[in-house]
Amino acid sequence: MKSDASRPSSLEPRALKIVADENIPLVRECFAGLGDVVTLPGRSLTADDLAGADVLVARSVTKVNKELIQNSSLKFVGTCTAGCDHIELPALKEQGVGFSNAPGCNARSVVEYVLCALDILAERDGYCITGRTVGIVGKGQVGGRLYRALQALGVRVMANDPLLEAEAGVELVELDELLERCDVIALHTPLTTSGDYPTYHLFGEQQLLAMKHGTVLINAGRGAVVDNRALLNVLKARDDLSVVLDVWEHEPEVDPELLELVDIGTPHIAGYSLDAKVTGTVMVYQALCRFLGLPARTSQQDLTPLPPLMKLDFTGTVDADQAASVAMRATYDIRRDDALMRRLLKMEPEARKLAFDFMRKNYSERREFSTLKIDASRSSQEVQQRLQALGFDVLDE
């Protein structure tokens, strides 16, 4: 998706005016060396806010379209996100504006979100994820990492991705077959409305009804990949399904009836580990430096703080399921996000929208599994292997 255009000779780095979304962590620290950084709320950004700006550093909440940029002096737009459905790429191309997103910056964070959700549901419903079959729709940065993580955990996994070629060791299936065979379905496609395989409402009534009895459906891609109205109707009729929604059609609006019926609901924060956010900021900074033909002086290492929880010790008595749950919940307890989200249920529509954005803006610091060192030297090999497969930093001897 990265498509840096070549740098126009008129663009002097010292004179840059950089408009950035105020909710991009470390954006000042990262970009200050390139010019003046002005931070503004991204959701309400207007063409007037871009007066005199050379660079826009955005997030998924800003619709970067022709109307926003046509009278601007922008030379470069970056979005510190993986998804690009908020960016009208032809409009940027038409005006010769350079562009970069941050592919894969938060893929690991989303994978951990999915693993944590499954851990909670498996405990609640009394099964072990290793005995289930998981289907991944969209095997890109997120889906591919999730595929490998589940394989490493010994879970049966298959994927649907019509844009991919066959690959050794990967079971690619048609969507109908995936719906028929999988106990868990995780959606990780972009939101698209054109092309041979558009994903808008990919999961409508027909697909939702075709899911097996007891299926767990997880959407941490984009809300409108699932027809939310159809999902609501299907959930009213089928209480065997479990649903985890991180993303919602029409965000920041959330349908309270749907929220009430899902098993885990969160405010579009699956990719919100601090590690992912810093990576996203740094990737866009580096892309801008490339565009300007300048060396990148700030690195991810310079910016990432130490995690608040650095070490965990296990004794010999813990089994692999217990160890995995304890370690995962010590780094990220998804139930907390779900509980906060349910406060929306008591609010009026306008307050609900504001609260959705507030939760995202004030999201508590969450770190990825790899930041936690675990001393499992007194535990069984099974425990050590499980923790390693999950991506923790395991001391095993």
Ligand X SMILES: O=C(O)C(=O)[C@H](O)COP(=O)(O)O
Ligand Y SMILES: NC(=O)C1=CN([C@@H]2O[C@H](COP(=O)(O)OP(=O)(O)OC[C@H]3O[C@@H](n4cnc5c(N)ncnc54)[C@H](O)[C@@H]3O)[C@@H](O)[C@H]2O)C=CC1
Residues lying near ligand Y in the complex (CB under 6 A) are found at: 82-83, 104, 106-107, 110, 137-143, 160-164, 188-191, 197, 199, 202, 220-222, 246-247, 268, 270-271
| Residue 98 CB partners (closer than 8 Å, separation 6+) | 3, 4, 5, 6, 7, 75, 76, 77, 92, 291
Binders of ligand X among residues 35 to 74 (CB under 6 A) are 59-61
- Per partner kind, with CB cut-offs from 5 to 8 A, the member of ligand X, ligand Y, none near residue 360 is ligand X
**How is residue 184 annotated by DSSP?**
E
Burial class (CB in 10 A: 0-12, 13-18, 19+), 346: exposed
Q: Which is nearer to ligand Y, 231 or 270 (CB)?
A: 270
DSSP secondary structure of 23-52: TSTTHHHHHGGGEEEEEE-STT--TGGGTT
**302 CB contacts (<8 Å, ≥6 apart)?**
none
- Name 212's Cβ contacts closer than 8 Å, sequence gap at least 6: 179, 180, 181, 182, 183
Partner that binds at residue 137, options ligand X, ligand Y, none, CB closer than 5 to 8 Å by kind: ligand Y
Least CB distance from residue 222 to ligand Y, whole Å? 4
- Contact between 360 and ligand X (CB under 6 A)? yes
Positions marked catalytic: 222, 251, 268
145 lines the binding site for ligand X (CB under 6 A): no
Window of 64-72, 78-86, 123-131, 141-149 that interacts with ligand X by CB under 6 A: 78-86
> Is omega for the bond preceding 252 within 30 degrees of 0, making it cis?
yes
Q: Which is nearer to ligand X, 280 or 307 (CB)?
A: 280
Comparing CB distances to ligand X, the nearer of 58 and 243 is: 58
Query: Are the beta carbons of 120 and 264 closer than 8 angstroms?
Result: yes
Question: What is the spatial distance between Cα 132 and Cα 134, in angstroms, rounded to a whole number?
Answer: 6
Q: What does the block give as tokens for 251?
A: 């965000």
Q: How many CB atoms lie within 10 A of CB 205?
A: 14
SS3 223: helix
- Could you tell which of ligand Y, ligand X, none binds residue 190, using a CB distance below 5 to 8 A set by kind? ligand Y
Residues annotated within the binding site are: 60, 81, 141-142, 161, 189, 246, 271-272
Q: Which of residues 268-307 bind ligand X (CB under 6 A)?
A: 271
Residues forming the annotated binding site for NAD(+)?
141-142, 161, 189, 246, 271
Q: What is the x/- site pattern for ligand X, positions 313-352, by CB under 6 A?
A: ----------------------------------------
219 binds ligand X (CB under 6 A): no
Rule CB under 6 A: is residue 82 a binding residue for ligand X?
yes
In the complex, the residues that contact ligand X under the rule CB under 6 A are 59-61, 81-83, 106, 271, 360
